[in-house]
Amino acid sequence: MSTFQAPKGTYDLLPPNSATYLAVREAISAPLKNSGYGYIETPGFENVELFARGVGGSTDIVTKEMYAFETKGGDQLALRPEGTASVLRAALEANLHKGGNLPVKLWYSGSYYRYERPQKGRYRHFSQVGAEAIGAEDPALDAELIILADQAYRALGLRDFRILLNSLGDKECRPVYRTALQDFLRGLDLDEDTRRRIDINPLRVLDDKREYVQERLVGAPMLRDYLCEACKAYHEQVRELLTAAGVAFEDDVKLVRGLDYYTRTTFEFVHDGLGSQSAVGGGGRYDGLSEMIGGPALPSVGWALGVDRTVLALEAEGVTLDIPAATAVYAVPLGDEARRVLFGAVTELRRAGIATDFAFGGKGLKNAMKSANRSGARLALVAGERDLAEGVVQLKDLRSGEQTPVALDAVVEEIRRALG
């Protein structure tokens, strides 16, 4: 009988690598916690219609990549392919927008699911940290989120990422551009699927990565030439705020993003060390999404950063995170009495906030010391019958090999001092 394996396109996070993923999540969320964003957690699955309406019925995410299923009770559900629609649904359901303090600022961390062709940096199960600011139309809010993401990446030690920025206009100016783009695209020699997209969501054709499509798009009308005065002024303010904050960005007139709900500001974080899957995160403003899913008008903005992609970006730059060892002290008992006494000492050390592990399974001294070294601990606490008879335990520095006897009732104090 063969053993089970993780489903295709997924992965298991195991120590020690999992510590890097935890550190990345913590680094991305730290600036958010410091800027008024509260934590939100939503179910791993939602009503299919939430994503069909919110993300867009014509997007690849909904038409090709969503894990949709019918429950025994007949409900049509889907594993969440992204976070924004779920967060907005939860905020509306809980009436957070009626609390009188807009914007409602939320951050989240979790797993998302898309049925994609697995490749490095693109999995069917992936991890993101995201942030949403719901209920305010303010260029400073768009700038704040971009600045916080930039801050998070820099805190991790990343330097070789770029921020691409664009404006997608609003309900006033985008329809005019949409018509002009459709007229242009209909005159091109394109495949059947792409021609269908012209009618449903022509902006997504601009985002097509295939070379033959990009070659035909030369001379296509540009959205920036169709922006209304209000959208131009809004976008200019975002640009000015980013520049004043010292955050570098590049204007990218073809940047669309793969979700239908974006309006005005849209942005992407890319890292050239990742090959074709260069986007490590992105987001934008989605002023009409609340109405699309049955809520009131709530202009909003947000982003999601890929944890998996960020880890790959760190590897590409050769950045090693300074992650403290999971264990600081490792206890090695020699004999039953020492086992009882040292286990008590381990419990005390843990209560004092010192990361401590124990040689379980009755290992001999040699094997137990090997385990102590493998654990990454700085100190070993060793005791045998003779030590206990003298009321001491041996404290061994695993780096220098130096060993000193310590009184049993002073173990916590001495270890605190030794660890500095």
Q: How far is CA 176 from CA 73, 131, 217, 226, in A?
A: 45, 31, 18, 7
Tens digit of pLDDT at every position of the chain (420 positions): 568 999 998 999 999 899 999 999 999 999 999 999 999 999 999 999 998 887 765 566 677 788 999 999 999 999 999 999 999 999 999 999 998 889 999 999 999 999 988 777 788 999 999 999 999 999 999 999 999 999 999 999 999 999 999 999 998 888 888 889 889 988 888 888 888 888 877 887 887 778 888 888 888 888 889 999 999 999 999 999 999 999 999 999 888 766 667 889 999 999 988 877 789 999 999 998 999 999 999 999 999 999 999 999 999 999 999 998 889 999 999 999 999 999 999 999 999 999 999 999 988 899 999 999 999 999 999 999 999 999 999 999 999 999 999 999 999 999 999 998
pLDDT value for 60: 67
* DSSP reduced 3-state for 93: helix
| CB of 258 closer than 8 Å to CB of 59 | yes
* Alpha-carbon span 119 to 151, nearest angstrom: 28
First to last CA, the chain: 52
Read off the DSSP letter of residue 225: G
- How many C-beta atoms lie closer than 10 Å to residue 393's C-beta? 26
Question: Could you tell me the residue ranges of all domains in the chain?
Answer: 17-173+227-317, 329-419
- Contact at 8 Å (CB) between 131 and 303? yes
Asked if 306 contacts 280 with a C-beta cutoff of 8 angstroms, the reply is yes
Tokens of 398: 């695993």
Burial label, 64 (beta-carbon count in 10 A; 0-12, 13-18, 19+): exposed
pTM for the full model?
0.90
CATH architecture of 17-173+227-317: 2-Layer Sandwich (3.30)
pLDDT of residue 334: 94
* pLDDT, position 287: 92
DSSP letter assigned to residue 53: I
Helix (H/G/I), strand (E/B), else coil: 95: coil
- Output the pLDDT for position 261: 72
| Domain 329-419 listed as CATH 3.40.50.800 | yes
CA angle 369, 385, 327 (to 5 degrees): 30
Predicted local confidence at residue 58, as pLDDT:
57
pLDDT value of residue 327:
95
